[in-house]
Chains A and B, each alone.
Chain A
């Protein structure tokens, strides 16, 4: 019996780590979000405040809009990028993949700063816009929702393309030949066969992108510090800084953010489950190969 227990000791480091820095903090945040400030009890007041105060409504709305739009544009660009890799030769593939992995590391503060150089008040593109009389460039306000959106789109594209490229491997030459034999064009192939076959991968990638943008903090913070209403900004404000801490209210914000991220994953899962034909065909493919 003693010997049987000894091996359990090997689990101790993992359990301490996960317990102290993952489970306990999370459980406490959920609990604390239902607790009144500086008192003991049970309340929904923090959640009511989030959804009734303009400042926090705005943060939730901004977060969802910026994440959704940047994910959709990101996946669209990634689709064409990954398609080009799929159709291109090995040299093109190598070249583009190198650029993608190079730029996928370029995020957060460095990215925000490089956009300040480009499109900020005295940015290079703004300068060029003035010189060459392009008003849309010279009047561009980077310190706005649109500016933030442009930066978010930038960091979504390399990630989305890298995630999408492997799924194009599932599209087989024979399918294209079939469509071609039956008189279809390349356009017919992609709209009727290619895109439906890629649907699970596209949705999966969008949900990763959405969660990625939702949790992004450094980019927005570097651009506008606490002056831009996004959930992560409002959230961190409750815990860090000179103002008094509002742990309970902050915890409720954290739970809202968590729920949004989990929901995006769950929506993705249910959409995927509704496509039995697709999962069946991909399973078939795996069997064929093995």
Chain B
């Protein structure tokens, strides 16, 4: 059968289509006027303005914090759970899987308003917006973290590894956290990166639960939307670049892992 020639054309057309909005946003952010066919007045002024703006830096920092905390908490919670599941209660596995898959079916807006409705008037620390945001992000990334950790555990054959460590005189806890966990660390980091890019791109949860209480970079972006087009483009490019770096790190880790196998 002869090779079809339509393939490269399809790829080219789709690539142009997909890159066009991105490219336009980039151009928009480095030109001061676009009222004719081509943009005029190249400038990096919008970027320098953006980096001089303290509230942007703070919002970016908030986003980094609010993505790291849930990732660490979720990773820890899942690892502890898998420790119990693998060593003591293998029958629990399917329930854990269901619990970890549910958030996938109630993405974003449903989860956010459910949490808000329940705790917005709760007494004491439970109505603290930062806490609500952290907890909700933990649940939002649960499917991805679970999937990553679970498949890594499977690929290193954790039960065997623990058996071997025990034969050499290690305790169960030691075997799991000092032998198994270091072996699956790169897999955990990959799902952590994926989760980070999800939280970085999230607007609905941040807007519903954080709002003005906890202004993340996405909220900052939303507010500039009504100010200046060029500044908004610059914010978008910076956020896009950060997400890109996160995914690149994850991608190179994945490649490294595959090579090891």
Q: Give A residues with C-beta under 8 Å from B.
A: 7-8, 10-11, 13-14, 17-18, 20-26, 28-29, 32, 77, 80-81, 83-85, 87-88, 92, 95-96, 99-103, 105-111, 113-115, 117-118, 122, 124, 127-128, 131, 154, 157-158, 161, 176-177, 179-180, 186, 189, 211-212, 215-218, 221-222, 232, 235-236, 238-240, 247, 250-251, 254, 257-258, 261-262, 265
Contact = CB atoms under 8 A, between A and B. Distances in A.
Interface string B173-185: 0000000000000
Given A28-B118, A88-B7, A105-B247, A215 B107 contact: yes
Contact of B135 (A21, A128, A211): A21
A184 B202 CA distance: 49
Given A111-B21, A113-B232, A218-B204, A232 B109 contact: yes
- Most interface-central of B111, B114, B138 (chain A CB within 10 A): B114
Given A10-B83, A14-B80, A108 B218 contact: yes
Nearest to B198: A105
Interface string B1-34: 1111011101100110111111011001000001
Determine the main DSSP class of B at the interface with A: helix
Contact of A92 (B7, B24, B81, B87): B7
9 contacts: A14-B78, A22-B142, A103-B18, A105-B243, A158-B18, A186-B1, A235-B110, A247-B117, A261-B105
Interface in B52-93: 73-74, 76-78, 80-81, 83-84, 87-88
Given A102-B244, A250-B117, A258 B110 contact: yes
A15 to B, nearest CB: 8
A99 B114 contact: no
Contact of A236 (B4, B105, B109): B109
A99 B15 contact: yes
Interface residues of B, number: 80
Contact of B222 (A7, A109, A235, A238): A109
Contacts of A8: 84
B134 to A, nearest CB: 9
Nearest to A264: B105
B48 interface: no
Contacts of B21: 106, 111, 114-115, 117-118, 154
Contacts of B135: 17, 20-21
Contacts of B108: 215-217, 232
Interface string B124-148: 0000000000011011001000000
B261 interface: no
Nearest to B172: A7
B24 A254 contact: no
A157 B18 contact: yes
B113 A250 contact: yes
A122 B39 CA distance: 13
Given A10-B80, A157-B18, A215-B108, A24 B118 contact: yes
Contacts of A80: 10, 14
Contacts, number: 236
- Most interface-central of A17, A88, A127, A232 (chain B CB within 10 A): A17
A117 B28 contact: yes
Contacts of A221: 203-204
Given A8-B84, A10-B80, A21-B138, 20 more contacts: A13-B73, A13-B76, A21-B115, A26-B102, A29-B110, A83-B10, A87-B7, A88-B7, A88-B8, A92-B7, A92-B8, A103-B18, A103-B22, A105-B197, A105-B247, A108-B203, A109-B218, A114-B21, A176-B1, A239-B208
A211 B104 CA distance: 10
B260 interface: no
Contacts of A105: 197, 201, 240, 243-244, 247
A100 B18 contact: yes
Contact of B106 (A100, A107, A189, A261): A261
B80 A77 contact: no
B11 A118 contact: no
B37 interface: yes
Contacts of A22: 99, 102-103, 111, 139, 142
Contacts of B111: 21-22, 25
B85 to A, nearest CB: 9
Contacts of B96: 14
Contacts of A265: 105
B207 interface: yes
Contacts of A28: 114, 117-118
B190 to A, nearest CB: 13
A81 to B, nearest CB: 5
A14 B149 CA distance: 14
